Structure 1
Amino acid sequence: MEEIYKYYKEHFNISESDWKIFSSKLSRQQFPKKGKILKVGQTENYLSFIERGIVRFYLPNENSDLTFSFAFGGSFVSAYDSFLTQTPSHYIVEAITPTVLWRLTYDDLQTVYEQSEIGNLIGRKASEELFLKKSKRELSLLNESAEERYLNLFTERPELIRQIPLKFIASYIGITPQALSRIRKRIS
């Protein structure tokens, strides 16, 4: 919980009283490698902060799953559309590596909004972070080549990207594993 406290102190200058309210609502949950955090048809009930681990979001498909996002330690993670609307998810959220999450339920987040001075700011910043990540991904798909998308992902988190199976990376940047192999050969 120390890492999440540091994050909130650094980004929001959270007071001790607000931290007590907020931290009292957090629960720690561990997921093994390949552990499903959320399945298709389940409603997302958590806004989570990744203490450690890598999470992927994907649409299951008979032939090949479509990976559309990754989340890394030190960031928020949620099937946010399902969380906001409290409706079933159309995709899967899965731990790629052993993952530790600090989780806040939808109802507890509403309580934090009501009872703390900083709750609305925390909620807004979490939603802004998730929106900006989604927007960046969409613009990348529209404006960059597969090679540029690969290099950007590799540049953002080089120490972690090596832990993601190449088939997930290929799916994420919108190419086949064979095409990714050719890109990797070309740039090495």
Structure 2
Amino acid sequence: MNEIRKFINNISPMSDSDWYFFSSKLKKVRFEKNTTILKLGKIEKHLSFISKGVIRFYIPKEASDLTFGFLFENEFVTAYDSLLTQTPSEYEIETLTDTILWQISNKDLQEVYQKTNNGNLIGRKMAETMYLIKSQRELSLLNKTAEERYLNLFSERPQLIKHIPLKYIASYIGVTPQSLSRIRKRIT
């Protein structure tokens, strides 16, 4: 749980009393590799902090899934749009490795926002970070070649290559696995 406090304190330091209130709402949950933690059509009920593991966001398709995001240790994970609107998710969230999460329910999160001095500030800054990641991905898909997206992905997130199957990386950068194979041959 110390990693969560360190992460939050980097955003905006929390007083001991606010931290105790917030941390009392957290629940430790373990998932095995390849576990779907949010299914298509279900409503997101938690904000989670990844203590250990790798997570994938994807839209299940008949031919092959469309992967659009990865998250790693010391990052927050949620189907944020579903959490905010309390409407069914249009995508799934899956563990790619054995994973440990610290979860807080949406109800408890709202209470933290109301009863702590800087809960709203921390929430806003995390939302801004998620927006920037989403915006950068969209711009990358519109402005860069597949090869540039692949190279940028590994310069920004080198841990990807170790834990994520190439078929998911191909989907994430918007190419087929065969095209990714050709890109990898060209740049090595």
Deviation of 1:74 (Å): 1.3
Q: Secondary structure at the match of 2:30?
A: strand
Paired residues of 1:58 and 1:69 also in contact (CA < 8 A): yes
Show CA shifts across 1:55-97 (max 9, x none). 1111101101100111111111111100000011111100111
Structure 1 counterpart of 2:68, one-letter code: F
Task: Figure out how many residues of one structure are paired with residues of the other and give that number.
Answer: 188
Aligned partner letter, 2:113: Y
- Per the TM alignment, residue 108 of structure 1 is displaced from its structure 2 partner at its CA by 0.4
Contact 1:60 1:66 in 2 (8 A): yes
Question: In the aligned structure 2, how far is the partner of 1:163 from the partner of 1:66?
Answer: 18
- 1:182 is displaced (CA, Å) by 0.6
Give how far 1:127 is off.
1.1
What one-letter code is carried by the residue in structure 1 that aligns with 2:24? S
Sequence identity, in percent? Answer: 60
Structure 2 counterpart of 1:162? 162
How many Å separate the matches in 2 of 1:85 and 1:161? Answer: 34
Tell me whether 88-97 or 156-165 shows the greater mean CA deviation. Answer: 156-165
Aligned positions of 1:1-188 closer than 5 A: 1-188=1-188
Cα separation, 1, equivalents of 2:11 and 2:89? 30
Contact 1:153/1:161 (8 A) holds in 2 = no
State the one-letter code of the partner of 2:96: I
Alignment partners' CA distance in 1, 2:48 and 2:118: 17
Structure 2 unaligned segments of length 5 or more: list them. Answer: none
Deviation at 1:9, TM superposition (A): 2.0
Q: What's the CA shift string for 1:108-129, capped at 9, x where partnerless?
A: 0110011110110121122112
Q: In the aligned structure 1, how far is the partner of 2:8 from the partner of 2:69?
A: 24
Question: Is the CA contact 1:43–1:88 (under 8 Å) kept in the aligned structure 2?
Answer: yes
Deviation at 1:162, TM superposition (A): 2.1
CA contact (8 A) 1:76 1:130 kept: no
Give the letter for the 1:11 counterpart: I
What amino acid is the match of 2:183?
I
